Amino acid sequence: MKDKLLNISRKHPLSIIILTALAVRIIAMIFSKGYGFENEHFFYVETPNAWLDNIDNTGYDSPRGISLFYVSINYLIFGFFKLFGIHNPQWLLFFSRIIHGLISLTIITLGYRITKIISDKKCAVNVAWLLALLWFTPYVNVHNIAQNVTVPFLLYGTLLIAKQEKLRNELKHNNLHRSSFIIAGIFFGLAFSVWYQSILFYAGILVALILLKNWKGSLMSLLGFVIAICVTQTLPDLVVWGRPFVELREFLGKSSEYLFNYDAHAPWIYYSFLTVLVALIPPLSFALMFGFFKACRKQFLLFFPTFIFLLFYTIFPNYDELYILPVVPIFMIIGMTGWHDFRKKSSFWLKHNRLEKYMLAFGCFVNAILIVTTMFMYSNKPEVKAMTYLSKNETVDFFVINDETTNETKRPPLFYEKHWSNYIIVNQNNSNDTTLFNRDADYVIFKETENLDSRVEKMKVYYPNLKHEVTYKPYFAQILYKWLNNSKDDGCVAIYKVDHEY
């Protein structure tokens, strides 16, 4: 039996990898609830659902420079399930995670195919395993994260161009399979329409093609790109704003503002090359980084756009690790290819292959711990649980969020509350403004438990009959994250009901 399984794995390695990746993602589909990032929920989940429910209070009343293409896709997905009577937020997002998780398997397949084109099968298998089981992949692959959704489009466009470039180099002529470059451009256009910032990678591809003296290929690709954005940036914007390219123009305006007003003192973790080194787990990440630069000439077509992308977000760091996510698979492909080629020719590593095995074992051990954490991670659990609790009360109309320990105005995920109730946020800036409390509230939600008793007493001045209902604590990974960021916020949320019949 064992020999039979080994034989199957040798003959069909990609199938085994896909099945393993699917099993891991199924666990994440079931248990990885909540949301980890603001746009993931409030723009890509809450906005389309508010539109479906004919609600206006989503905080989205003007262009934000974020493409409506992926929002429209989510609108259709959620609308489809609501058409069949599924309105429970947890079930809607469960089906959404299934769809995203299944689509994400194409990332593994495409990464494998690209690597086979530029290297060999053994290297392609290693890349596929990385894409399948790297610790953060189950989480990002099943959630509504635009930076991850854009990856299959980027990879397929890259695959088509890499394939044509290999044929051009082998046949030593410039006869083009024009449709391949046009289709590649269309997929890069779709990637751009999911997440605008992916334009950096595509711009790098165009420049690389020109430097490789493939002008015709770059022009054909650009034609496909223009076709794609003319469709994807016209229809959604016409429906929402009544004119095309509204969000794109807003994005271009904000981008120029960002370049001239960026924060040059961002924490070190947000510098892209350092983020990659940490995220891919040392010492494996060091080997991949070495291989990445080692392969810069041989894999110039893929190296150049990836390098430009990472360099840009190192020079202009963004306070969001997700920004580099679209190029991480390409980085791993180039890094693994470069390391693979170096490893075969290095006398040191040929003599010290046991050291490499120890390094790999350490990386696998750390990755195993982290992947279990992310597969079961319930992000922003207290906030989600609090809104779910309020959803059970059909009469809830207005509630107060007390966050006096900070100056934040972080809005609640009303999608889970279902009633889309009105609310106010009380923080350090407005806690003494008595005009905020002119309206009767149904609940007061306290964020954090610091000085909770005194804060409750203070709120009793406006709502005398407060009764504690429940307190929700965060998932332990969120507690660890706050500790690592030296945050005093314990992440707990306490719900108090205003008893009007007292």
Q: What is the DSSP string of 98-133?
A: HHHHHHHHHHHHHHHHHHHHHS-HHHHHHHHHHHHH
Provide the phi-psi class of 62: left if phi over 0, else alpha when psi is between -120 and 50, else beta: beta
Predicted local distance difference test score (pLDDT) of residue 336: 96
- Residue 445's beta-bridge partner residues? 401, 495
Beta strands in 294-410 (DSSP E): 398-402
d(CA 81, CA 135): 30
Predicted local distance difference test score (pLDDT) of residue 434: 78
Place of tokens 């794609």: 228
Query: pLDDT by residue for the chain (502 residues), tens digit each?
Result: 556 666 766 778 999 999 999 999 999 999 999 998 888 899 999 999 999 999 875 667 788 889 999 999 999 999 999 999 999 999 999 999 999 999 999 999 999 999 999 999 999 999 999 999 999 999 999 999 999 999 999 999 999 999 999 888 877 666 667 899 999 999 999 999 999 999 999 999 999 999 999 999 999 999 999 999 999 999 999 999 999 999 999 998 887 666 555 555 555 555 678 889 989 999 999 999 999 999 999 999 999 999 999 998 888 776 677 889 999 999 999 999 999 999 988 888 888 888 888 999 999 999 999 999 999 999 899 999 999 999 999 899 999 999 888 777 788 999 999 999 999 999 888 877 778 888 889 999 999 888 889 999 999 989 988 999 999 988 776 666 665 555 666 788 999 999 876 5
Q: Which amino acid is at 448?
A: E
Q: Which two tokens stand for residue 373?
A: 């954490």
Q: Which two tokens stand for residue 331?
A: 């980085």
Q: Which two tokens stand for residue 326?
A: 């679209």
Could you tell me if 190 and 232 are in contact, meaning their C-beta atoms sit under 8 angstroms apart? yes
Could you tell me if 413 and 439 are in contact, meaning their C-beta atoms sit under 8 angstroms apart? no
- Cis-peptide, bond into residue 283, ω within 30° of zero: yes
Could you tell me if 466 and 498 are in contact, meaning their C-beta atoms sit under 8 angstroms apart? yes
Answering whether pTM is above 0.75, one says yes
CA 34, 314, 478 angle in degrees (round to 5)? 25
Predicted local distance difference test score (pLDDT) of residue 436: 82
Q: Which amino acid is at 32?
A: S
Q: Which two tokens stand for residue 151?
A: 């990856």
> CA distances (Å), 398 to each of 213, 388, 407, in order?
63, 15, 21
What are φ and ψ of residue 469, in 5° steps? -105, -55
